Each structure stands twice: as C-alpha cells, then as structure tokens.
Structure 1
Amino acid sequence: MGESKAVQRTLRSEIQKNVKENGFTLSKLSELSGISTGHLSEMLNGNPQRAITVGQLDAMATAFGFAAGWLYELYPEECFAKERVSRPRAIPYLIRCAEIGFQDCIQQVVSRLLDDRKNLDILFSVAEQLFENGKRKESVPFYKLVIENEKDSHSDRFAISQYRLFRASQGADAEENWKAVIRFELYRTRLPENYQLDGLIHLANACFMLRKWKEVESYADELRSLAMKVYQNELRKKKSGKTLEPLRTERHLVAYYGQGFLAKGVALQMQGLYEEAKKCVQGYADLGWFELLDDTGRKVVKEYKIWATANLYTYDLLMGKTDLLPDYLNFLSMYPEEIPAGLLAIMEAASKYDIAIEDILEQYAGEIDRFYEYNNPVNIGRHYNFRYHKIVYELKKGRITNALEEILCCLDLADQLKDHEAFKRCTSLFWEHRQHASEQHERVFQEIIGRFAE
C-alpha cells in the first residue's frame, strides 16, 4: 500500500493537494505566487501540461508557507521529457540545489545527465554560473565532474574547469595553495588567451604569497609577453577596420602588461635586488603610449604611474637612502590608499638602517590597528611582514617585551596562513628570547602552538 502511494506522488499531485488543503482557488494561488492564472491552469490541468520552472516552484512554496527546496526531490522529472534533457529547467534547478545544499537531488539529475557526454556542457554551465555568482565552493563539484568526464583534455571546457578549480582552491592555507598551483600550471597554456592573462596573474599572486620569487618572475615575464601579443593582435584588428568584440578579461588589457613589470619588480625587491627592481619600474611608470585606451584604461595608466612613484621610494629607502623619508611621507599623505604598503616599506627600512620611526608609528597607529581586520591572504601576508620587521626593529632598540608581543602576533598570523616556514621562524625567535617572556606571553604562545598542531 505504502509503495503504491509513493509511486502516485508527483510534483503536480502535491501542488494540487496543497491547493485543496489551503482552500485556494487558482486565482488566489496566482495572487500569492505571482504566476498567472492561465499558466497555473496549463501547469496543473493542461494537456499536454505546461512545464514548471524551479523559480515557479519556489514561488508556490512561498505561497503555501514552505521552506526553500519544497518538492525538489520530485522536480527531476521536469528536467527530462521523453528522456531528453531540458537545459532551461535543468540548469536553474541544479544551481538552486547547489545553493541550498540538496546533494541527493543533484546526484539524481547528474547520474542521468552523464549517460550522454554531450550533457557535460550543462554541468559546465552550472559551474560557471555558480562561480560567477560568487558561489565558488558550490561550483567545485561541477567542475570536477567536467574534468573527470571530459575526453578531450585540450578542450577549452577542460582547461577552464582546471583554471576555475585553481581559483576556487586559493585560500589562507599555504600548503593547499601550492598544491593548487602545481595542479593548474600544466594547463595554463591550453586556456584561451583571455583566460591565460588572468590565470598568469593569479599564478604569480599565489607564488608571491608562497615566497617563491623565481616562479613569480617567470609568470610575470610570461604575462608581459602574452599581454603584448594580445595587444598587437587587437591593434591589427582595429587598423583593419574589423568590428572589435570586447576582450573578455577581468582587467583592462593595459593592466596585464603593467602587472608583468610590477610583479617582477616586487619579486626582485623581495630578493634584495633593488637596482634590478628599479629597472622594472620603467616598464609601468608611463603607459600612456598604449593605444586602445578607454576611460577605464586611462584610469589604470594613472594607477600604475602612482605605484611606480611609490615603488621607487620603496626601493630607494631599502637601499639606504633614508633622507627621502620626509618626501615619502608627503607622498603617502597625498595618496592615502598607498599607506598600508608604505608603512611596510618604512618598517623594513627602519629595521635595516636603525631609523627612529616612533613618531610615524604613532601618527599611523589607527591604520596599523586596521591591519588586524585583514581577512584575505595577500593582506594577512603583508601584515605578517610588517610585524616581522617590527620584531627586528624592537630587538635592535633593546625592547624585548615589545619584540615578544610582535613575535606572538607573527605566530598567530603564520597560523592563519598555515605557513609552516614562517611559523617555525617565529617559534625559534620566541624560544631565543623566552627567558624574558611573562606568564601571559607563555599562555598565548602555548595556545597558538596548540591551535597550529590541530
């Protein structure tokens, strides 16, 4: 008896049951759901019956007072008609299931879709829409399905799925980030060129976070070369009089060319190669020669000019030209968005050349406190570097207690980044000065050590 009822339970029978139980007319349901009376009639009583979209099902759920996902387990049949899949219904349904975590419903549809490899495009579309809507975690299983079932590993769909997985895998865990770099970098040259540009920037950024400076240099060179190639192609198209389709990239084309120089310069800076880094600045200090500039492009050119000035100050300071510090501070007052990077440069120079900067630290105390609010890996890494140079600064001044506070801060930041090398470095520093540690220092140290070991 129970099995018979289960067989008879359908999407429409459940809707009709709720219409009856609530004493609704189709007009009342239309009023509450926003679906026209005619469409409701065709859905429930038509011959053939009108298909129900997942959005309409959600609207009816709200009208009846049910939570999101009502009757989703019965919806898969709407996605298939005579064993043929309906993209307009399957894609929104899978997206909604992913958003609210209905894995069983997803599996029910996916298993049928994979009977025909042509349906991989549906799974790819679902993944892309989730990714573009900021649902990166939810997009991952769909990209993995594409990768696992795609026969042509040189197809755009396969390469883009590898790229998206790389992007979705980037987080605060340094070890996992490196694994993601290794998995993706083999496929970067198989991407369409617009995706390659973005992929190279993100590879360089990931390696920057991992302090793999030679890799950053390599990807930066590759980025600059590819950006110039794409630029020349776009220029030829324009001069030929062809209608230009907009280049679909995350940034303006000029930004990729400039970033190739900027990223390499910063990588050289981190290796102490300041003169070489200064040569890179020439590559992005004035990009006004770049054609194909619209308002966005011109704004990018101005930004790179500002960054060039900021980085020249940084490199000169780190080379010991400390008499430039007042000029640099004046520059930072004119461009406050450069203050966080500027404070890091000043802190590093102070730790190297024994410059007294207490008044600067006091002046920017509020900005330094805001470093604690950082929650993305790049900025957490910047905060770590600032604190690490401050350790050196405080030790040189003989302020051991202050240095211990900074060591504990660095330990906590290294834990957030899951950066084992940084954590070991700071642990060693704490042990070196442990005889000066208070009970509170010891308590915090043990707490962080315990958390890192979990």
Structure 2
Amino acid sequence: METTATIRGEIVTFLQNRSMTINQFARISGINSGTLSNILNGHRPMSMHQLDRITDGMGLEEGYFYDLYIPECIFHTTPDWRRLGPFLLRCAELGKLGCLHRAARMTLENISYAPMLFDMAEALFNEDKHEAAALLYESVAECEKFQYSERLALCQYRLFVIGLGENQDENLQAAVYFEPYIDRLDDMYQLDAYVKLINVNISLQRWDKIVALGKRMGHKAKIHYQQNRYRFRTYEYPRKSVIFYILYSYLIQASMHQEQGDYDNAFYYVSLYEHPDWINKPNEEELLIIEQFKDWAEANRYMYGLMSGQPNALNQYVDYVDSREDEIFLALCNIMIAANRYQLHIDHILDRYKEHLVFKTQQNQLGKISDLVTLNRYTRLLAELGIYYLNSKQFDRGLAYILDSLEYSIRTKSDNGMLRCMGIFEQFRHFSSEETQRRYTELIQDVQKLSVYAWSPQV
C-alpha cells in the first residue's frame, strides 16, 4: 500500500499531537526557528544535518525518514550533490543500504553524477564499508557498461575483490566475469589484479589458467620494469615493487612443471627467481623481495627433491623450515602428500609441528597469504592426514581427519574435495564407529542440501 506521508507532514502531526509550537521544537532540535518554519512551509530544502536533528528531536531512530527523504528532498527538488553526497554517506554509516541503492540508481538518470558516485565508492571501499561500496560500484558500472573505460574496469575489479569469499563456485564465477576487464585497468592496478586472479585459480587448482595468467603478468611486469626502472615509486599501486611480479611469474611456472612431474623444467624456473641478476641497483624493498624469493627457491629445491623421491630430501626440507616459522605450514602440506605417495613414516614430524596442524592466517616476509589459498591447502592437508592414518591402520583417527576435510570442503563448496572425502570414507566405512557414521550422515545431508540448492529453478 502506497503512502502519501511526507516528512513535513509527519513533523506537523507531531507538533499538533503534542500542542507544541515551532519555537518550542526549534529549541529541542537545535534548529533555528525561522529555518524550521521555512522548511515546514516548503520554502527551503532540508539538509541531512537538519533531518537528523529533527529525527532526534522527535525521539525517532536514526534514519527513520530516509525513505521519504529520497523523493521529497533529493529528486523532487533540483538535484544537488551537497544534499545527495551526505545522504549516501549517512546511509552507509547506518547500514541503510536499501536507501543508498535506491538513491544511487535514481541519481544515475543523470550520468554526470557517475564520477562523484565512483569517488564515494572508493572512499567507502578504503574505509572497509564494502557492502555499501559494492552498491555504488554496481550502479556506476551499469551506467558505463557500453563504454570501454578505465573507470568501468576499476568498478569491476573492486566488485571482484569485494565478492571473494569461501564459496569456490562463486569465486570462480567472479574470476571469469572479471578477467576480460583486467587489461583495461590502469597499469598501477593491473599487476595486483593479476595476483588476485592467480590466487583464486590456485585455490581452484586450475593450472592451465594459473600459468596463462602468470605469464601475462610476468610479461606486463617486465615491460613496466624496463620503462620505469630508474623512477621512484610515488603512488600506492602496485602494492609491491614490480620485480615481485616478474619473480612470482617464474615461481608460478615452476609450480606448474612440478605439478606435472617435470622436475627439470621446475628447477630451471627456480633458478630464474633464485638469482635475478638483471635487477639494477635494488632498493631496500627490492632487496627484501629478492631475499624472500631466494628463500623460497631453497625451500622448493628441497620440496621438489622430496616430491620426486630423493631419499635425503625429507630431512633437508625439515631442517630448512625448522627455523622459518612462516614456512612450516606449507612444508607440512607438501610433506603429507609426499609421505602418502612414498609411504614415508613421519609421526615424529607431525608430533614436532602439531601446533601448525590447525587453520590460521598465514604470512611471509612480504605480507599476508591469501586466505583462499590457505583454506584450500588446509582442506587438502586434512585429507592427506586422514589418508596417512588410515594407511597406518589408525582408522578412527584417519576417518576423523577425512570428515574434517569433508566439512571444510562443504564450507567452501568444493566439489573435488567433497568427492575425494566421500570416496575415501566409503572405502573404509566398515572400520568406522557408530559415532563416526552418524557424523558422516549429517555431513552428507549438508552435501545434499547444496545439491538441491544448485539444481533449484532460478526465478
């Protein structure tokens, strides 16, 4: 049912019901009585500051009149950014996202407001008000969808970053949708965007896509380095020195060859990021990056040796990471895979590093590791631990880890993870206790709910 109520009408009714004069309410609200009179008589538009004072004076919750404010004070008068801008900010602060979205969409009937809406979205994004920022980015992107503009590309990049979460299906859709826009981004954002796309695809184990993106990133970074090698960085992006992206592209290609069992080429690419002699007069930041990649190169040499079955590589690898706290979790992930591949006995290693067998945010010298990548690694680690203990005939312990991995796979909606865990459990079901079977049944019900949701008709 539509309402014909107005803010002015509500104020008048409030005053009448309380037999209150304009002067009395002016004292309560802190608004000049002449200004208040002009507002009530429709001779003066109401600012956001005045609206909030009036709302407070009437004893109503903050934002009570925002739905009415949009048509009454923004769009039924001459549009004015001095009123609209503060209104959008207040909506973001109070979480009134429906009002914010409605006002933004109506605003873009005049496309000249697009730059101002974009700037506000950037401000909200930088304040971590991501839901509000996303609504503004979507509105600006819709306005510019037929234009080949950097602003459109940056809107799509921000929406991609905001939309990333634990759901692998949604992350894949976000990555596929964003990728065509990446080359439209300004150079200072483009390299960081490549890293984020690569991280999403690492969590999804899409190796062909990972390598393709890594090569493109490396190529662009090399061009950027050659063109700017003697300049000082004076802007916020990319977040790391350009040499990081070149070396990271080599690391990605080394990892791809290792995944394929091609260790000769894997070691070749390790040498490229281990000894980057082409870097000209590295500054302090670049020296830190060089040192980190040199450390990774040493660790990966041990890891590749372990994965290829070299007998002494396990002890060398463990000795190496023992004094490097940031490397232990990843090392355990790799060691578990090798242990199951070559039937290695590693109880002493698991006992030594048992505090690292829990999910937590990972970091290295260069910053925080993507949570998407860490979550994927941890889910795989749980499965490998389960397989290890099942092979050791510790069935209760092994199946508990398999179900932990299944739970994380459901949480991330990883089809591969769910299928892997269900297949292993069914293989060892006859060794499971009633309690373990009950937990498995409950998790399978969660899997079935995901399947029903995936196949339900969309309207």
- Per the alignment, residue 180 of structure 1 pairs with 174
- Per the alignment, residue 6 of structure 2 pairs with 6
Match of 1:448 among 439, 443, 449: 443
Q: Is the Cα contact below 8 Å between 1:11 and 1:74 reproduced in 2?
A: no
Classify the secondary structure of the residue corresponding to 2:393.
coil
Matching of residue 317 in structure 1 with residue 312 in structure 2? no
Query: How many angstroms apart in 2 are the aligned matches of 1:309 and 1:277?
Result: 13
Task: Calculate the TM-score normalised by the size of structure 1.
Answer: 0.82
The one-letter code of the counterpart of 2:99 is C
Query: How many angstroms apart in 1 are the aligned matches of 2:286 and 2:261?
Result: 32
Residue-pair matches, total: 437
Output aligned runs, 1:330-345, within 5 Å. 330-345=319-334
> Does the C-alpha gap of structure 1 residues 115 and 333 become closer, same or farther in structure 2, counting only changes over 3 Å?
same
- Per the alignment, residue 34 of structure 1 pairs with none
Q: Could you list the runs of 5+ residues in structure 2 that have no partner in the other structure?
A: 363-368, 450-459
Q: Is the Cα contact below 8 Å between 2:402 and 2:421 reproduced in 1?
A: yes
1:378 offset after TM fit, Å?
1.9
The one-letter code of the counterpart of 2:389 is E
The one-letter code of the counterpart of 2:159 is L
- Per the alignment, residue 95 of structure 1 pairs with 89
> Does the C-alpha gap of structure 1 residues 285 and 91 become closer, same or farther in structure 2, counting only changes over 3 Å?
farther
Match of 2:417 among 409, 418, 422: 422
RMSD: 3.8
Query: How many angstroms apart in 2 are the aligned matches of 1:376 and 1:223?
Result: 21
Which segment drifts farther, 193-202 or 272-281?
272-281
> Does the C-alpha gap of structure 1 residues 422 and 151 become closer, same or farther in structure 2, counting only changes over 3 Å?
closer
The one-letter code of the counterpart of 1:280 is Y
- Per the alignment, residue 413 of structure 1 pairs with 408
Query: How many angstroms apart in 2 are the aligned matches of 1:95 and 1:257?
Result: 40
- Per the alignment, residue 162 of structure 2 pairs with 168
Matching of residue 304 in structure 1 with residue 293 in structure 2? yes
Query: How many angstroms apart in 2 are the aligned matches of 1:6 and 1:53?
Result: 15
- Per the alignment, residue 452 of structure 2 pairs with none
Query: How many angstroms apart in 2 are the aligned matches of 1:275 and 1:14?
Result: 82
- Per the alignment, residue 33 of structure 1 pairs with none
Classify the secondary structure of the residue corresponding to 2:309.
coil
Query: How many angstroms apart in 1 are the aligned matches of 2:405 and 2:33?
Result: 65
- Per the alignment, residue 127 of structure 2 pairs with 133
Which segment drifts farther, 205-214 or 176-185?
176-185
Classify the secondary structure of the residue corresponding to 2:442.
helix
> Does the C-alpha gap of structure 1 residues 295 and 288 become closer, same or farther in structure 2, counting only changes over 3 Å?
farther
1:66 offset after TM fit, Å?
5.6
Query: How many angstroms apart in 1 are the aligned matches of 2:421 and 2:254?
Result: 27
1:50 offset after TM fit, Å?
10
Output aligned runs, 1:9-158, within 5 Å. 9=9, 52=47, 67-73=61-67, 75-76=69-70, 83-86=78-81, 88-150=82-144, 152-158=146-152
Query: How many angstroms apart in 2 are the aligned matches of 1:220 and 1:84?
Result: 47
Query: How many angstroms apart in 2 are the aligned matches of 1:258 and 1:330?
Result: 25
> Does the C-alpha gap of structure 1 residues 391 and 159 become closer, same or farther in structure 2, counting only changes over 3 Å?
same
Q: Deviations over 1:322-348 (max 9, x none)?
A: 413333223222211111111112212
Q: Could you list the runs of 5+ residues in structure 1 that have no partner in the other structure?
A: 31-36
Match of 2:225 among 220, 231, 237: 231
Q: Deviations over 1:210-266 (max 9, x none)?
A: 111111011011111111111112126x3xxxx864362233322222221222323
> Does the C-alpha gap of structure 1 residues 60 and 261 become closer, same or farther in structure 2, counting only changes over 3 Å?
farther
Q: Is the Cα contact below 8 Å between 2:92 and 2:132 reproduced in 1?
A: yes
Match of 1:276 among 240, 265, 270: 265
> Does the C-alpha gap of structure 1 residues 324 and 61 become closer, same or farther in structure 2, counting only changes over 3 Å?
farther
Query: How many angstroms apart in 2 are the aligned matches of 1:64 and 1:291?
Result: 67
Matching of residue 218 in structure 1 with residue 208 in structure 2? no
- Per the alignment, residue 435 of structure 1 pairs with 430
The one-letter code of the counterpart of 2:331 is G
Q: Is the Cα contact below 8 Å between 2:100 and 2:132 reproduced in 1?
A: no
The one-letter code of the counterpart of 2:208 is K
Classify the secondary structure of the residue corresponding to 1:172.
coil
Q: Deviations over 1:142-161 (max 9, x none)?
A: 22222222154310111112
> Does the C-alpha gap of structure 1 residues 22 and 447 become closer, same or farther in structure 2, counting only changes over 3 Å?
farther
Query: How many angstroms apart in 2 are the aligned matches of 1:300 and 1:440?
Result: 49
Query: How many angstroms apart in 2 are the aligned matches of 1:59 and 1:325?
Result: 69
1:358 offset after TM fit, Å?
0.6
Q: Is the Cα contact below 8 Å between 2:22 and 2:37 reproduced in 1?
A: no
Query: How many angstroms apart in 2 are the aligned matches of 1:451 and 1:441?
Result: 16
Q: Is the Cα contact below 8 Å between 1:43 and 1:51 reproduced in 2?
A: no
- Per the alignment, residue 264 of structure 1 pairs with 253
Match of 2:240 among 247, 251, 266: 251
Q: Is the Cα contact below 8 Å between 1:235 and 1:292 reproduced in 2?
A: no
Query: How many angstroms apart in 2 are the aligned matches of 1:175 and 1:371?
Result: 22
Query: How many angstroms apart in 1 are the aligned matches of 2:57 and 2:22?
Result: 13
1:129 offset after TM fit, Å?
2.4
1:171 offset after TM fit, Å?
1.5
Query: How many angstroms apart in 2 are the aligned matches of 1:309 and 1:153?
Result: 47
Query: How many angstroms apart in 2 are the aligned matches of 1:153 and 1:104?
Result: 27
Matching of residue 379 in structure 1 with residue 368 in structure 2? no
- Per the alignment, residue 453 of structure 2 pairs with none
- Per the alignment, residue 342 of structure 2 pairs with 353
Q: Is the Cα contact below 8 Å between 2:175 and 2:197 reproduced in 1?
A: yes
> Does the C-alpha gap of structure 1 residues 223 and 179 become closer, same or farther in structure 2, counting only changes over 3 Å?
same
> Does the C-alpha gap of structure 1 residues 335 and 137 become closer, same or farther in structure 2, counting only changes over 3 Å?
same
Q: Is the Cα contact below 8 Å between 1:285 and 1:305 reproduced in 2?
A: yes
The one-letter code of the counterpart of 1:220 is G
